[in-house]
Amino acid sequence: MFQATPLTRRKQYSELAAQSVFLSMTLLMVLPLVLIVGYLVYQAWPILSLDFLFSNPRNGMRGGGIWSPLLGTIYLVVISLVIATPIGVLAAVFLNEYATENWFTRVVNLAVVNLAGVPSIVHALFGLGAFVLFARMGKSILAASLTLAIMTLPVIIASTKEALAAVPRSFREACWNVGATRWQTVRHIVLPNSISGILTGVILQVSRAAGETAPIMFTGAVFFKAIEEGNLFAYSLFGQGMALSMHLFTISTQVPDVPAALPFGTAVVLLGTVLLVNALAIVVRVRLRSRRKW
C-alpha cells in the first residue's frame, strides 16, 4: 500500500552502507586476532599436554614443561593485583567522592594520567631503585610484584573513577536526604553499582601484568629455577622466580637448539592463562551488572 520515496530509499542505502563499513572494520579487527591465535595453537599443538604444564624445564630449557614459569607468573599477577586493587580503588573513591576541586587534586589527576603512559622500562628502573636497593628487598618476587603494582595502579585509578562517576548523582542525593553519611552512601550505593566498571579496569591490567618482561627482569625474575613440581607454594616471596614472559624471551633469544613447538607452547599457555583470568572476571562482572536496578 505504501511505497518508499526516493528520500527514504537514499536513507536506507546510506544505512546499509554504514552497517557494511562498521561490519568490515569489526572483521578487520577480529580476523587478525583469530588468525594469530589459530597459528599459535597450530604450532604449539605437538607439545601441549598436562605434562607440559606440570613439569619443570629440563635439558637447559630445551625440554620439559613450564611449571616453574607458570607458577611464578601466577604469583606475580595475583600479588600485584592484591596490592594495586585496594589502593587504586580507595584512591579513586577519595578523588571522586571526597576531594574538592583545587590545584592539588588537579595535579594528582594529571599525575595519574601521565603515569599510565610511562614505559615499562622506566617502571623497572624505579622498582630496582625503590624496592630492590632502597627498601633492601633484593631481587625477589615481592619486589617484582610491587613494581607491577605501581605500573598497573594508574589505570585502575582512572577506570575506577570513571565507574564511580557513572553512578547517577540522584542516588547519592537520595541517601543524603534520609540521613546517610557520605561513607555509608559510598559503601552501600556507589561501590555496589560501580563494581562492574571497577572490574573492567582490573581485567585490563591482568594481561599487562602477566606479559611484562622488563619490570620483572630487573627486580625478581631469573632465567631458570627448579622447584617442586605440582607444589603451589614452592616459591617464597623473598626469593626469585621464573615467569612465562621471561621464559619465552629466554628460550626464543638466548637458548640454541630449542624445539620449534616449545616457544609457541609457552606463548599459548601465557595467552590461555590471561584469557582464563579475564573470562572469570567477565563472568563475575556480568553477574554483578545483571543485579543493577538502572
Lowest mean pLDDT among 162-166, 259-263, 284-288: 284-288
The per-residue pLDDT for range 242-265, each reduced to its tens digit, is 999 999 988 988 888 888 889 999
Q: Of all residues in the chain, what percent carry a pLDDT higher than 70? A: 97
Q: How far apart are CA 64 and CA 56, in angstroms?
A: 6
Q: How far, CA to CA in Å, does 120 sit from each of 102, 147, 148?
A: 30, 10, 9
Q: What is the pLDDT of residue 2?
A: 63
Q: How far apart are CA 210 and CA 216, in angstroms?
A: 10
Lowest mean pLDDT among 76-85, 177-186, 196-205, 253-262: 196-205
Residue 60, SS3 per DSSP: coil
Which has more confidence, 90 or 286?
90
Which contiguous run of DSSP H or E holds residue 58? strand 57-58
8 Å CB contact between 164 and 97: yes
Report the pLDDT averaged over residues 100-108: 86
CA 18 to chain centre: 33
Backbone angles phi, psi at 236, to 5 degrees: -105, 145
Residue 292 confidence (pLDDT) above 80: no
Report the pLDDT averaged over residues 161-172: 88
Q: What is the pLDDT of residue 196?
A: 80
Q: How far, CA to CA in Å, does 179 sit from each of 30, 192, 212, 228, 269?
A: 50, 19, 47, 57, 52
CB within 8 Å of 264: residues ≥ 6 apart: 40, 43, 44, 47
Mean pLDDT of the chain: 87
DSSP 196-237: HHHHHHHHHHHHHHHH--HHHHHHTB-S-----TT-TT-S-T
Residue 139, SS3 per DSSP: coil
Residue 132 DSSP one-character state: I
Report the pLDDT averaged over residues 150-175: 88
Residue 291 confidence (pLDDT) above 90: no
Q: What is the pLDDT of residue 1?
A: 58
Residue 137 confidence (pLDDT) above 80: yes
The per-residue pLDDT for range 30-87, each reduced to its tens digit, is 898 899 999 999 999 989 888 888 889 888 888 888 999 999 999 999 999 999 999 9
Helices (H), strands (E): how many in the chain?
Answer: 12, 2
Report the pLDDT averaged over residues 194-220: 84
Report the pLDDT averaged over residues 129-157: 91
Domains, the chain, with CATH or none: 68-290 (1.10.3720.10)
Q: How far apart are CA 47 and CA 136, in angstroms?
A: 40
Q: How far, CA to CA in Å, does 30 sit from each of 74, 83, 274?
A: 28, 33, 18
Residue 143 confidence (pLDDT) above 90: yes
Q: What is the pLDDT of residue 207?
A: 79
Q: How far apart are CA 289 and CA 294, in angstroms?
A: 10
Which has more confidence, 240 or 202?
240
